[in-house]
Amino acid sequence: MTTMNGQVAWVTGAGSGIGEATALEFARLGATVVLTGRRKGPLQAVARAIGEAGGTAWIQAGDLARAATSRRIVGAIDKRYGRLDVLVNNAGVNVLERAWAKLAPAGVDQVVGANLSAAFYCVIAALPVMRRQGGGLLVHTASWAGRFVSPLSGPAYTASKHAVVAMSHSLNMEEFVNGIRSTVVCPGEVATAILDKRPVPVSAADRARMLQSEDLARTIAHVATAPAHVCINEIVISPTWNRGYAHQIGAKPKTKGRRRKT
Ligand SMILES: NC(=O)c1ccc[n+]([C@@H]2O[C@H](COP(=O)([O-])OP(=O)(O)OC[C@H]3O[C@@H](n4cnc5c(N)ncnc54)[C@H](OP(=O)(O)O)[C@@H]3O)[C@@H](O)[C@H]2O)c1
């Protein structure tokens, strides 16, 4: 079996959703996982689940929208483990007020700070350790909204995620000489807590048809276990029932009713 034994992986946004599932999957594969998010409670719950399954996790909480946080955390990882093999740059937010008619500077700052500046800060902090050890993997959770513009996600989120896609490709252009690879993952809708911030509530039936966090965890684990000579530059992944397409062609999900007796 392909494993991550001996590897140190830092997962941001690890207290919930895609980050939580990825941290659990990495730990299952044998990696030591460093968990970051602003709230300690969810991180403790994930660390407990990893410990109970026989894995190793270390909590480093903090607000990644501040550059000092990622500097501090990478310093702590380097001191404790002396290496950093994988960074999953996954923390992100959106705001309720996302149409231009409602968008305010504070919302733009929040979204760009958590989705884009934080991603840059984490990479800038991680690169020196990866260069020193002669390799490393950067995975960024961008979005379908990082590839395709639609009104659904709002301009700040869409712009920040497009920038994350560009950031990842720019890393591959420069850092391959240091054995460093960068993968940007662009998921369509995933049934996580971030959907609770949608202006139009998402039904349980819609959530059930979406990608699940574990689907993304498996995808990211596939990237993380690829041989060092393989660079997976970009992954675009969506639920089979893609609500954007369904909306465009006016398709409705088929109900699995019992056949009527004649
Ligand atoms: N769900 C989707 O449909 C979807 C689709 C495409 C892309 N994505 C992207 O996937 C990533 C993960 O989101 P998710 O869907 O798993 O939603 P989620 O459960 O809300 O996860 C987001 C995580 O990011 C953390 N976070 C937010 N701001 C932070 C900050 N400033 N500093 C540190 N941590 C921060 C949150 O923890 P704290 O609140 O404790 O800080 C939370 O655990 C995000 O980048 C999101 O944009 C999601």
Which percentage of the chain shows pLDDT scores above 70?
A: 97
| Residue 119 pLDDT > 70 | yes
CA 53 to chain centroid: 22
Structure-token pair, residue 2:
């392909």
Answer yes or no: are the C-beta atoms of 208 and 189 closer than 8 Å.
no
Please provide the distance, in angstroms rounded to a whole number, between the alpha carbons at the two ends of the chain: 53
pTM above the 0.75 mark? yes
Q: How far apart are CA 132 and CA 78, in angstroms?
A: 11
Pocket of ligand 1 (CB under 6 A): 12-13, 15-19, 36-39, 42, 63-65, 90-93, 114, 118, 141, 143, 187, 189-190, 192-194
pLDDT tens track for 34-92? 999 999 999 999 999 999 999 999 999 999 999 999 999 999 999 999 999 999 999 99
Domains of the chain as residue ranges with CATH: 8-247 (3.40.50.720)
Identify the pLDDT of residue 262: 43
Q: For residue 32, give Cα distances in angstroms to 5, 21, 117, 139, 169.
A: 8, 14, 26, 16, 27
pLDDT tens track for 149-208? 998 999 999 999 999 999 999 999 999 999 999 999 999 999 999 999 888 899 999 999
Answer yes or no: are the C-beta atoms of 76 and 7 closer than 8 Å.
no
Which of 11, 18, 211 gets mutated to test ligand 1 (max ligand atoms within 8 A of its CB)?
18
